[in-house]
Amino acid sequence: MRAWDRSKPLLFCPAMNTAMWEHPITAQQVDQLKAFGYVEIPCVAKKLVCGDEGLGAMAEVGTI
Task: Give me the active site residues, please.
Answer: 50
Collect all residues with Cβ–Cβ distance below 8 Å to 47 and sequence separation of at least 6.
53, 57
Using DSSP's 3-state secondary structure scheme, residue 48 falls into coil
Using DSSP's 3-state secondary structure scheme, residue 6 falls into coil
